[in-house]
Amino acid sequence: TFAGGTGELKERHIFDGENGFVVKYKYQEAVKIDLSQLKGEANDAGVLPDEKSLKDYYVRNENFLDKDCRVYDTGSSKMYFYQGVLLKEETKDIMFGRFNQSREAIDVKLDVPVPQEKFRVPDNFKIIDSKDLWQDLEKAIGEKLKQKTGE
């Protein structure tokens, strides 16, 4: 769950085992992502790999939020996991090699009840399949190229 500086809910990532959903509250939409297509890799939609897929990138344990986290470094991203849950991610600027984007948990609460609606896309939200987004993007790029080349 990601909130803006004002504390308002911006987006939430929900996983049901087969699909991931990036829920955008401002637009009342959710992008559906087929997790089997990711093959354990991070993607631009913000869906992150699970810890098992990172085993070759393990570097050490570090303390974060008073938790003994396993740290993985892929070269472009450094991720901190505690009991399989991503608590912190730092992403490098590939051109300059410095960490320039980070997202991290601000609190960890274990064994607390969580309402089931937190794991569902709200009924009134439009669900967009990520495959459709790529097809729309390819079509728009093709049209733009035709305009530029005069074809």
- Burial of residue 31, with CB atoms counted within 10 A of its CB: 0-12 exposed, 13-18 middle, 19 or more buried: buried
Q: For residue 65, give the amino acid letter.
A: L
| pLDDT of 85 | 85
Q: What does DSSP assign to residue 47?
A: P
Q: Which residues of 40-64 are buried (b: 16+ CB within 10 A; e: fewer)?
A: eebeebebbbebeebeeeeeeeeeb
As a whole number of angstroms, the distance between CA 151 and CA 10 comes to 41
| pLDDT of 65 | 94
As a whole number of angstroms, the distance between CA 71 and CA 61 comes to 6
Task: pLDDT tens for the chain, 151 residues: list them.
Answer: 444 455 566 778 887 777 888 888 888 988 888 877 655 444 444 455 677 778 899 999 999 999 999 999 988 889 999 988 889 988 877 666 565 777 888 888 888 998 888 888 999 999 988 887 767 666 667 676 767 776 6
| Sign of the four-CA dihedral 8, 81, 51, 16 | negative
The neighbouring-strand residues paired with 88 are 80, 104
| pLDDT of 7 | 58
